[in-house]
Amino acid sequence: MSDGTNSSGRFESLVLDLAHDLPTTPGDVAAQRELRAQVASWFSLGADEIDEVLPSTALDRRPTARAEWQPFSLD
């Protein structure tokens, strides 16, 4: 690091501040609010609605754990 700054300092200068650095128009904000109202959140779906959306083999394709994985501990 020949410029005398650490990697954290360089990263902080690259972070996009969405509240100030992203140019938006009032129309952009209105469109985002409308889309948010139109699209249902996964959190608002009931179990039966989630079952309708996911394929019946979804859990078979993504195992929750494997026998060869070692137990995790914070100790």
Token output for 28: 């952009």
Task: Give the pLDDT of residue 8.
Answer: 53
Task: Give the pLDDT of residue 60.
Answer: 78
Task: Give the pLDDT of residue 2.
Answer: 46
**What is the chain's pLDDT, residue by residue, as a tens digit (75 residues)?**
444 445 555 666 667 776 677 788 899 989 989 988 888 788 888 889 888 888 888 877 776 778 888 888 887
Task: Give the pLDDT of residue 1.
Answer: 44
Q: How far apart are CA 32 and CA 52, in angstroms?
A: 27
Residue spans of the domains in the chain: they are 24-59
